[in-house]
């Protein structure tokens, strides 16, 4: 599966992608919003292998694609829609971007392509997303997509000795315009 946008190539993961994943997942700015203290080569290899395994599921339920800069052919993150069940008409949107590329619109561009894929190709009715309330950049991405704020789960995640709030957003098919 391939999706090309103005600046990005969203493609299936391959085993050789793990060093690029390790590079951005090891960045302290990235790690701030995840429960891990650090990432190791086996962690990144397992992560990439899981995404590759999702490609083989029949019927397929999870489409998590590598985000590659067209101009540089550099992997800078991933983005996807994940259905709980194959016949579901609802999916979760998720993405992560190398912190060196934050603030340039790449997450929004990739997420917009995946939301469009979810509605147009998967026939979804609803796409939802969650982000930590402290992650202002991720919140901005969801709002730029036109997602609607649904609520705040107060102190529902505990990691790194801190309770975190989670924000919930969603978008319905009839609200989507490319």
Residue 67 belongs to domain with CATH number: 3.40.630.30
Of 57, 60, 69, 164, the C-alpha closest to 107 is: 69
Of 101, 96, 76, the C-alpha closest to 20 is: 76
Is 78 in a helix, a strand, or coil? Answer: strand
**The whole model's pTM is what?**
0.95
Q: How many domains does the chain have?
A: 1
Kindly state the tokens that stand for 90. Answer: 């609802």
Range of the domain at 95: 2-175
Is 94 in a helix, a strand, or coil? Answer: strand
Q: Which residues of the chain fall below pLDDT 70?
A: 178
pLDDT at 8: 98
Q: What is the tens place of the pLDDT at every residue in 118-155?
A: 999 999 999 999 999 999 999 999 999 999 999 999 99
């Amino acid at each position: 599966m391939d999706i090309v946008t103005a600046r990005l190539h969203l493609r299936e993961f391959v085993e050789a992608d793990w060093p690029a994943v390790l590079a951005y997942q090891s960045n302290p700015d990235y790690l701030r919003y995840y429960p891990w203290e650090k990432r190791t080569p086996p962690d990144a290899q397992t992560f990439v292998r899981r995404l590759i395994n999702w490609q083989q599921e029949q019927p397929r339920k999870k489409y998590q694609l590598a985000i590659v800069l067209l101009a540089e052919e550099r992997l800078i993150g991933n983005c996807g829609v994940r259905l709980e069940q194959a016949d579901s008409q609802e999916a979760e949107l998720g993405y992560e971007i190398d912190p060196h590329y934050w603030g340039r619109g790449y997450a929004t561009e990739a997420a917009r392509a995946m939301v469009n894929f979810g509605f147009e190709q998967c026939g979804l009715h609803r796409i939802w997303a969650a982000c930590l309330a402290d992650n202002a950049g991720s919140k901005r991405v969801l709002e730029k997509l036109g997602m609607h704020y649904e609520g705040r789960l107060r102190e529902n995640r505990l990691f790194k000795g801190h309770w975190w709030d989670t924000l919930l957003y969603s978008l319905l098919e009839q609200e989507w315009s490319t």
